[in-house]
């Protein structure tokens, strides 16, 4: 496995699709990185030479793409800032609800978690 930016990318996939396993790199960026590093897009990761792997690492650094830990920490800081300011979006993050105006009466299960039915409970037995 080739290790780029602290991530082991899969060996048997083509280079642009393997690069997508790095947080912050999508399809378009992966293809742009291949062009920048002069790596054939149809080659597999297992066929890359060490020079090509180094060229891909350098291309990520040269293009100034924020990836992995740096990107995750920036996202977390942005959410924390919204929470601290008390904005509407921050409150939605705090409550674990959708932030972009989606409906919540139905759906939104990804954000809200497993459905919990609230019933009447057990009645007390009066003797």
Low-confidence ranges of the chain (pLDDT < 70): 1, 121, 127
Query: CA-to-CA distance for 92 and 86, rounded, in angstroms?
Result: 10
What's the pLDDT score for residue 73? Answer: 96
What CATH number labels 2-65? Answer: 1.10.8.50
Please give the Cα distance from 4 to 9 (Å, whole number): 7
The Cα 108–Cα 102 span in angstroms is 8
pLDDT in tens, 58-90: 999 999 899 999 999 999 999 999 999 999 999
pLDDT given at position 1 = 67
Our measurement of the distance from residue 10's CA atom to the centroid of its chain's CA atoms, rounded to an integer in Å, reads 17
Q: According to the model, what pLDDT value does residue 121 have?
A: 67
CB 97 within 8 A of CB 88: no
Does the pTM of the predicted model rise above 0.85? no
Sorted by where each begins, the domain ranges of the chain are 2-65, 69-101
pLDDT value at residue 46? 93
CB atoms within 10 A of CB 99: 16
- The superfamily (CATH) of domain 69-101 is Ribosomal protein S13/S18, C-terminal domain (4.10.910.10)
* Cα 85 from Cα 65, distance rounded (Å): 28
Provide the β-strand partners of residue 4.
7
């Amino acid at each position: 496995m080739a290790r780029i930016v602290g991530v082991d990318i899969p060996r048997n996939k083509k280079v642009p699709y393997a690069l997508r396993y790095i947080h912050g790199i999508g399809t378009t960026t992966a293809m742009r990185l291949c062009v920048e590093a002069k790596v054939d897009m149809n080659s597999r990761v297992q066929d890359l030479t060490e020079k090509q792997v180094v060229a891909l690492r350098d291309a990520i650094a040269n293009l100034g793409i924020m990836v992995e830990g740096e990107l995750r920490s920036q996202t977390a800081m942005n959410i924390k800032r919204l929470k601290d300011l008390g904005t509407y979006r921050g409150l939605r993050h705090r409550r674990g609800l959708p932030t972009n105006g989606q409906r919540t009466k139905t759906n939104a299960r990804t954000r809200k978690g497993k459905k919990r039915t609230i019933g009447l409970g057990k009645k007390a037995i009066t003797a």
